[in-house]
Amino acid sequence: MTRRAGLVRVATLLVSGDLAKAEDVVQTALTRLYLAWPRVRPDTVDAYARRCVVNAATDERRSLFRRREQVRAQLPDVAAVEAPGGDETTMLALLATLPTSMRTAVVLRYVEGLSVAETAAAMRCSEGNVKSQSARGLERLRAVFPARVHDFA
C-alpha cells in the first residue's frame, strides 16, 4: 500500500495537484503494469511502475484536449487518500507553474529522489535533457518563489 501511496503522490504532482485525476492516473498505470506483469523483470518493477505513471499522466493531459467533460455533481468530501497538507499544497502550487517536462524532471529528481539516469529512463530522454529540465525548472521556481525552492533542492 505504501508503494501505491507513493505512486499517487507522484501522479498528484505530475497532474498539477488534482487528487482525483492522480488516482485515475495511478489506476491506469497499475492496470498497465498488471497486463505487462509477465514481461516485467523483478529488479525493474519500481522503475516500470514509475514509467507507467509518467505515461498515464501524459496520456491524461493529452486526452483533456480531445474531450470536454462537464462536471455535473460534486465529488464526495471523503478522499480515498489523505489530502495533502499545507507544505504539500504549497509544493503543488509551485510545481503547477512549470511546464510538463520541467515539472516531471523536478518531481522525479527532487521529490522521488531518482538519479539523473533513472529519471532519464523514466522520461525516455537523454541525461542531458534531464539535467537541463531540472536546472531550468529550479531556476523558474527560484525566480517566482525564492524562499520556497529550498524544499526541492
Distance CA 94, CA 119 (A): 20
Angular region, 78: left φ>0, alpha ψ -120 to 50, beta rest: beta
Burial class (CB in 10 A: 0-12, 13-18, 19+), 1: exposed
- The pLDDT assigned to 84 comes to 45
Q: Number of folded domains in the chain?
A: 1
Non-local (6+) Cβ contacts of 5 within 8 A are 81
Say how far apart CA 26 and CA 57 lie, in whole Å: 8
Q: Where in the sequence is the domain holding 96, given as residue range(s)?
A: 2-151
pLDDT at position 76 is 45
pLDDT of residue 116: 94
Q: Are 87 and 15 in contact (CB under 8 A)?
A: no
CA–CA distance, 17 with 33 (Å, rounded to integer): 23
Per-residue pLDDT of the chain (153 residues; tens, 9 = 90+): 466 567 777 777 777 667 788 888 888 988 999 999 999 999 988 888 888 888 888 888 777 655 555 555 554 444 333 444 556 677 778 888 888 889 999 988 988 888 999 999 989 999 999 999 999 998 888 887 766 555 555
pLDDT of 151 reads 54
- pTM value is 0.55
Domain CATH number, residue 76: 1.20.140.160
